[in-house]
Every structure is written in structure tokens, then in C-alpha cells.
Amino acid sequence: MSYLISADLLRFWYLTKHNMPGTSMNKFIETLETLFDGQKPSRPINKIHFQNASRYYEHFMHQVDVKVKFKDKTVCLSCKGIMLASHCDGNFKLYRLLSALGINLSSLYGDVVIAFDEDMTNHMAKIDSKVPKVTYFIL
């Protein structure tokens, strides 16, 4: 069975999702179903098919930007030239790399965002020295 989803609807969903973060696809589809309730055809929208169509639309628009419009998505106007850092979805996941991933890399941001491990160890030792230790348990 084939499904046809309007490109205008997919563009509207794309803009809604990116301009209003936190918007739920399920609530968006529920709203569409309510909006078109009573009109023909009024069958429920298949969420999996809509999600796949949305992903294909985003991929298609990316291909148009890169291969037709020749946009370089690695250029940042704020950085003035070579981008300082980049992530595919724009969200930087800041790990303590040695403990989280088992690799030892230097941080791109130094200790601006996450303190160095040595600083954290010293800070925790300082706190532990001020807090009295409990050596017994009440049962």
C-alpha cells in the first residue's frame, strides 16, 4: 500500500518542529486528525509512515541544499571562517570522555563548560574534608 503525504504538510511539520522545540509529532498528528475530522477521507494518520516521510523530506531538502544550492553547512558566520566546533544535530553532548567513553581527549572548550577532572577531584576532596563521616548505621 502506498501513502501520499503533501510536501506542504511536511514543510509545515519541519518548520513547526525546528521553530518550536519540544513540539510532539504525536500531538501534531492528533491535531491534524482533529482538524480534518468529518472530512473525507478521515482515516487515522499512520505515525510510522508520517515519521518516515518526514525523515525522507528532511534528507531530500538537505540534498537540495548541498548538491543544488551548493550550501556549505560547515561555515559559521559567527566563527568568521573555520567553524570552532560542529555537531550533526546542533546539540553538543559534553562528556567526561575518559570516564564515559573510555578515551582520553582534550576538551575543545578547556574548563569553560566542564571542569577538568583534577579540579573536580580536588573540589570533592575539599568538600569531603568538611563533612563528618558516618561510621555506624542505625538498624
- Inside any domain, residue 136: no
- Over the stretch 78-98, which tens digit does the pLDDT of each residue have? 666 666 666 555 545 555 555
- Inside any domain, residue 79: no
Statement to judge: residues 23 and 62 lie in one domain: yes
Can you state the angle between helices 47-63 and 25-35, rounded to 10 degrees? 110
Which cell numbers hold the place of 125? 576532596
Mean pLDDT value of segment 20-32:
89
- Inside any domain, residue 1: no
**CB pairs under 8 A, 24+ apart, for 97-103?**
none
Which pLDDT band holds residue 133 (cuts at 50, 70, 90)? Answer: confident
Average pLDDT, the chain: 77
Which cell numbers hold the place of 9? 504538510
Statement to judge: residues 19 and 62 lie in one domain: yes
Q: Are 44 and 36 in contact (CB under 8 A)?
A: no
- Inside any domain, residue 34: yes
Statement to judge: residues 11 and 59 lie in one domain: yes
**How many structural domains comprise the chain?**
2
Alpha helices (H) along the chain: 7-19, 25-35, 47-63, 97-100, 117-130
- Inside any domain, residue 77: no
For residue 104, pLDDT over 70 is answered with: no
Mean pLDDT value of segment 44-63:
88
Global pTM?
0.52
For residue 18, pLDDT over 70 is answered with: yes
Mean pLDDT value of segment 19-34:
89
- Over the stretch 43-53, which tens digit does the pLDDT of each residue have? 788 888 899 89
Range of the domain at 57: 7-68
Query: Can you tell me whether residue 126 is helix, strand or coil?
Result: helix
